[in-house]
Amino acid sequence: MKLLNVSGSPHVHSDESTKKIMWRVNLALVPALLVAIAYFGLNALLVSIVSVAACVLFQWLIEKFIMKQPTTNIWDGSAVITGLLLAFNVPATCEMVWIVAIGALVAIGIGKMSFGGLGKNPFNPALVGRVFMLISFPVQMTTWPVPAAKAFSFSADAVTGATPLGILKEGGAEALPQAWELIVGHMGGSMGEVSALAILIGAIYLLIRKVITWHIPVAFIGTAFLMSLICGACGMAPEGVNAGYYAVQQILMGGIMLGACFMATDMVTSPMSKSGQLIFGVGCGLLTIIIRNWGSYPEGVSFAILLMNAVTPLINRGFKPKRFAK
């Protein structure tokens, strides 16, 4: 007979694994990807494929040749998430194909592997990559294709237009999308963030599978909504738009939905305790609206989340879970 195993208790384990969690997140991103392909044509698919492939490849190269790990972790799905989110954060244009590859190198190389790989990175790798691209390639990163009428086609010379947030920043109200367009995402913008509906479907799946909890998304979106409501009431809404509708526009336009559901909830870079997660979400919401209204960029989700990532260790230290009998 074989030797008996001995170890401390417990002797059974739930079937949870890092790999399963990561692939569930990937699955949750699929609806948004399909919408992106439908609106922006095969460009979107091409950018996504390049982004994912680049992320996985860079992780493999770094693990193999720099960290000299005997085994590779590329199959755990985390590099795929980074790749997808990176692609979701850029406009679906042809030029982005090579820019996103550079972004992937920064996201994986600097954002993740330089800290020791999955679990050790203080900042969300996809956002590190995105901010790098935004600062390095400002023109390409803000040339937005408008959703094409003909889905699933290459539209090399897609009409480009401003994002709704850009329009708001300029103070115009006439060119803003309609309410239904906001919900399904028929507007200009980064390819993955336009459709609130597709993102919500993914987020609900993650909530059901207990990959994320409601705390961060609700705190994030709720704070952004309230803040916008106040701003709108104080006369920051464009002419002819009431404060309530302005606030709805604010949370549906730009990256708040994607950021709140998929990027702020990144386990590695968000706080652990529920109270900490609420603080984190509120902070993200506040910073986003502050940057949108008073910063020089029309969009502030990436910066807001990265800034809150930076204070996550402090939040973890300050906001402990409720102890038993205390």
Partner 1 sequence: MGGVHPEENKISTNAVIEKFPVPAQMTVLMNQHLGAPATPIVAKGDKVKVGQLIGEAQAFMCANVHSPVSGTVKDITAVKDPFGMMKPAIVIDVEGDEWMETIDRTPDIKRECNLDSKEVIAKLKEMGIVGLGGATFPAHIKYAVPEGKKAEYLIINAVECEPYLTSDHRVMLEHAEEICIGIDILRGALNVPHAYIGIENNKPEPIAHMQKVAAQFGGRLIVEPLKVKYPQGAEKQLINAITGRCVPSGKLPIDVGCVVSNVGTTFAVYEAIQKNKPLIENILTVTGKKLPSQHNYQVRIGTTYSDIIKHSIGELPATTGKVISGGPMMGKAMCNLDAPTVKGASSVLVIDEGEAVRAQESNCIRCGKCMMACPMGLEPYLFSALVRNDRFEEAGANNILDCIECGCCFFSCPANKPLLDEIRLGKNKMRAILAAKKK
Partner 2 sequence: MDINVILLAVLILGVTGAIFAVVLYIVAQKFKVIEDPMIDQIADVLPGANCGGCGKAGCRAMAEAFVKQGNMEGLSCPAGGAAVAEKVAAILGCVAEASDPKVAVLRCNGSCSNAPAKNHYDGLKDCAFANSVYTGESGCSFGCLGLGNCAKACQFGALSVDPETGLPVVDEEKCTACGACVKACPRNLIELRKKGMKNRRVFVACRNTEKGGVARKNCSAACIGCGKCQKVCKKEAITIEKNLCYIDWTKCVACGLCVNECPTGAIHAVNFTPVKPKPKVEAPAAEAPKVDTPKVETPATPKTE
Point out which residues bind partner 2 (CB under 8 A).
3-8
Backbone angles phi, psi at 253, to 5 degrees: -90, 155
Binds 163: which of partner 2, partner 1, none (CB < 5-8 Å by kind): none
Write out the binding residues for partner 1, residues 44-73 only, by CB under 8 A. 73
Instruction: Say if residues 301 and 217 touch (Cβ distance below 8 Å).
Output: no
The minimum distance between CB 14 and partner 2, in angstroms, equals 18
Question: Strand, helix or coil at 298?
Answer: coil
Stretch that binds partner 1, among 143-151, 154-162, 189-197, 269-277 (CB under 8 A): 269-277
Distance between terminal CA atoms of the chain? 50
Two tokens, residue 69: 């790990």
Contacts of residue 266, defined as CB under 8 A and 6 or more positions apart, other chains included, come to 124
Write out the binding residues for partner 1, residues 180-239 only, by CB under 8 A. none
Question: Strand, helix or coil at 144?
Answer: strand
Two tokens, residue 151: 């889905």
- Does the protein bind partner 1 through residue 149 (CB under 8 A)? no
Total of chain residues touching partner 1, rule CB under 8 A: 38
d(CA 67, CA 61): 9
Stretch that binds partner 1, among 60-68, 111-119, 229-237, 280-288 (CB under 8 A): 111-119
Q: Which of 34, 207, 268, 307 binds partner 1 (CB under 8 A)?
A: 268
d(CA 255, CA 191): 10
The minimum distance between CB 5 and partner 1, in angstroms, equals 5
Q: Report the residue number, 180 or 324, with the smaller CB distance to partner 1.
A: 324
Q: Which of 68, 158, 273, 282 binds partner 1 (CB under 8 A)?
A: 273
Which helix (H) or strand (E) segment holds residue 249: the answer is: helix 243-252
- Does the protein bind partner 1 through residue 296 (CB under 8 A)? no
The minimum distance between CB 113 and partner 1, in angstroms, equals 12
Q: Report the residue number, 72 or 160, with the smaller CB distance to partner 1.
A: 72
The minimum distance between CB 13 and partner 2, in angstroms, equals 12
Contacts of residue 253, defined as CB under 8 A and 6 or more positions apart, other chains included, come to 163, 164, 165, 168, 177, 182, 187, 189
Q: Report the residue number, 80 or 168, with the smaller CB distance to partner 1.
A: 80
Number of Cβ atoms within 10 Å of the Cβ of 132: 18
- Does the protein bind partner 1 through residue 320 (CB under 8 A)? yes
The minimum distance between CB 80 and partner 1, in angstroms, equals 15
Binds 116: which of partner 2, partner 1, none (CB < 5-8 Å by kind): partner 1
Question: Strand, helix or coil at 89?
Answer: coil
What is the Cα 25 distance to its own chain's centre?
12
d(CA 63, CA 83): 17
The minimum distance between CB 267 and partner 2, in angstroms, equals 24
Q: Which residues bind partner 1 (CB under 8 A)?
A: 1-2, 4-14, 16-18, 20-21, 73, 76, 116-120, 267-270, 272-273, 320-326
